[in-house]
């Protein structure tokens, strides 16, 4: 045998040695998949991502477009979105790298059904994806020394403006012991109990109670004394504005200094409708309602209520004017 043939034989032997084990594994895997259905085979090989694709498609109509929204700060979600798009074909999908791109899309045909990818493909909502995208807390204050068991928070919102404006109300709750804190969000009436061990920061109080976006106010009760602080946060710009804690309603009539660029907000804390006069115009507030009217600075009412002014400032900040 010539040296050339010996060299070729050595190469062949080395290739057989290096590929025998992987080939044997593939053969064993093929035999293990024989009795499985196509779906079971793909789940075995592709994992939960494929199972998620099938589950999503099972719960939507064949002609319902899907918005695939991958979080840009979550490694690998963009790849799973591409994977979803491939295995969902011919189902119509629109892919967005980040929730802001979905929010900015003004196409009238933009899909209303959203798919998220945290933990695998799943049907979700804009509000839920928005909550998932939040990181960290902005409120950084020392709560007042005064402890409370009951209070009213006059403004609790979870809303978006033009990007990058994303508003939430953060709550800082501290206690010397374990406290059961009951929050009722009006006007929806949604309620949730938070168990506070020493200290907790809630990044989006409205969403954590209602699981939705919106504007309201909150009544809070605790079985242990609480030191609290609340702030309206623009998570897109970092602007933080403290929110007053209400222990008692102001005396009537309620008057404010002129603020030409501010809006007047009115809160009805009762379970009956309330008709008030603001700047000479009647305004009806539903039971436990909150409404925004013009820039009036005087409020007259047959029953106690709460009112405040809110004015948008630079960098997406907000200036509140509270009653004296």
pLDDT recorded at residue 5: 60
* pLDDT of 304 higher than 60: yes
Q: In this structure, what CATH number is given to the domain that contains residue 157? A: 2.60.290
Q: Give the end of a domain, one of 212, 243, 274.
A: 243
* pLDDT of 143 higher than 90: no
pLDDT tens per residue, range 17-37: 566 566 656 556 565 666 767
Burial of 243 from C-beta contacts in 10 A (0-12 / 13-18 / 19+): buried
Which letter does DSSP use for residue 246 in this model?
Answer: B
pLDDT tens per residue, range 46-92: 778 899 999 999 999 999 999 999 988 788 899 999 999 999 999 99
Q: Angle at the Cα of 239 (from 236 to 245), degrees rounded to 5?
A: 120
- Helical (H) or strand (E) element with 25: helix 3-33
Q: Which domain holds residue 210?
A: 148-243
* One domain, residues 26 and 49: no
* One domain, residues 66 and 24: no
* One domain, residues 156 and 87: no
Q: Give the end of a domain, one of 217, 243, 269.
A: 243
* One domain, residues 219 and 262: no
Q: Is residue 139 part of a domain?
A: no
pLDDT recorded at residue 11: 59
pLDDT tens per residue, range 146-157: 899 999 999 999
* One domain, residues 224 and 266: no
* One domain, residues 227 and 304: no
Q: Is the link from the previous residue into 90 a cis peptide, with omega within 30 of 0? A: yes
* One domain, residues 25 and 45: no
Q: Angle at the Cα of 290 (from 286 to 295), degrees rounded to 5?
A: 115
Q: Is residue 141 part of a domain?
A: no
pLDDT tens per residue, range 258-291: 988 999 999 999 999 999 999 888 999 999 999 9
* One domain, residues 191 and 128: no
Residue pair 263/295 in contact (Cβ under 8 Å)? The answer is: yes
Q: Is residue 234 part of a domain?
A: yes
Q: Is residue 225 part of a domain?
A: yes
* One domain, residues 175 and 260: no
- Rounded CA separation 232/166 (Å): 10
Residue 5's φ and ψ, nearest 5 degrees, are: -65, -40
pLDDT recorded at residue 116: 95
Residue pair 109/65 in contact (Cβ under 8 Å)? The answer is: yes
Q: Is residue 205 part of a domain?
A: yes
How big, in percent rounded to 5, are the helix, strand and coil portions of the chain? 25, 40, 35
Which letter does DSSP use for residue 247 in this model?
Answer: S
Query: Bigger pLDDT: 162 or 156?
Result: 156
pLDDT recorded at residue 6: 56
Tell me how far the alpha carbon of residue 274 is from its chain's centroid.
32
Which position has the token pair 């793909």? 42
> Number of folded domains in the chain?
4
Q: Is residue 26 part of a domain?
A: yes
Q: What is the chain's length?
A: 324
Q: Is residue 297 part of a domain?
A: yes
* One domain, residues 217 and 167: yes
Instruction: For the beta carbon of residue 302, count every other beta carbon within 10 angstroms.
Output: 10
Q: What is the 3-state secondary structure (H, E, C) of 45-83?
A: HHCHHHHHHHHHHHCCCCCCCEEEEECCCCCCHHHHHHH
Model confidence at 195, pLDDT cuts 50, 70, 90, reads very high
* One domain, residues 208 and 282: no
What is the gyration radius of the CA atoms in the chain, in angstroms? Answer: 29
pLDDT recorded at residue 229: 95
CA dist 18 to 15, 30, 277, Å? 5, 20, 87
Q: Is residue 301 part of a domain?
A: yes
Which letter does DSSP use for residue 295 in this model?
Answer: S
CA dihedral 139, 144, 146, 149 (to 10 degrees): 0
Query: What's this model's pTM, rounded to 2 decimal places?
Result: 0.83
Query: Bigger pLDDT: 225 or 145?
Result: 225
Q: Is the link from the previous residue into 187 a cis peptide, with omega within 30 of 0? A: yes
* One domain, residues 53 and 110: yes
Q: Give the end of a domain, one of 243, 271, 304.
A: 243
Residue pair 297/257 in contact (Cβ under 8 Å)? The answer is: yes
Least Cα distance to 310 among 234, 213, 218, 209 occurs for: 234
- Rounded CA separation 163/101 (Å): 9
pLDDT recorded at residue 192: 98
């Amino acid at each position: 045998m010539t040296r050339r043939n010996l060299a070729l034989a050595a190469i062949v032997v080395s290739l057989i040695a290096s590929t025998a084990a992987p080939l044997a594994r593939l053969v064993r895997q093929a035999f293990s998949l024989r009795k499985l259905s196509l779906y079971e085979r793909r789940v075995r090989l592709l994992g939960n991502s494929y199972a998620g694709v099938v589950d999503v498609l099972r719960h939507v109509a064949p002609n319902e477009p899907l918005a695939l929204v991958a979080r840009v700060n979550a490694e690998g979600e963009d790849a799973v979105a591409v994977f979803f798009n491939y295995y969902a074909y011919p189902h119509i999908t629109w892919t967005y790298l980040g929730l802001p791109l979905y929010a900015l899309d003004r196409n009238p045909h933009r899909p209303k059904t959203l798919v998220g990818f945290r933990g695998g493909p799943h049907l979700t909502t804009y509000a839920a994806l928005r909550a998932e995208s939040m990181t960290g807390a902005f409120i950084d204050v020392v709560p007042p020394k005064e402890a409370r068991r009951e209070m009213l928070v006059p403004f609790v919102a979870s809303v978006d403006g033009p990007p990058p404006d994303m508003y939430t109300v953060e709550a800082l709750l501290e206690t010397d012991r374990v406290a059961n804190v009951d929050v009722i969000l009006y006007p929806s009436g949604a309620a949730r109990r938070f168990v506070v061990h020493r200290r907790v920061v809630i990044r989006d109080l409205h969403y954590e109670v209602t699981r939705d976006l919106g504007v309201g106010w909150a009544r809070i009760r605790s079985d242990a004394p609480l030191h609290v602080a609340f702030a309206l946060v623009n998570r897109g710009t970092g602007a933080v504005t403290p929110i007053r804690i209400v222990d008692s309603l102001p005396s009537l009539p309620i008057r404010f200094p002129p603020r030409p660029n501010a809006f007047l907000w009115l809160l009805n804390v009762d379970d009956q409708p309330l008709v008030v006069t603001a700047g000479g115009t009647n305004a009806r507030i539903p039971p436990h309602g909150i409404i925004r009217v013009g820039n009036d600075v005087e409020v007259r009412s047959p029953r106690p209520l709460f009112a405040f002014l809110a004015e948008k400032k630079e960098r997406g900040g907000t200036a509140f004017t509270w009653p004296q």
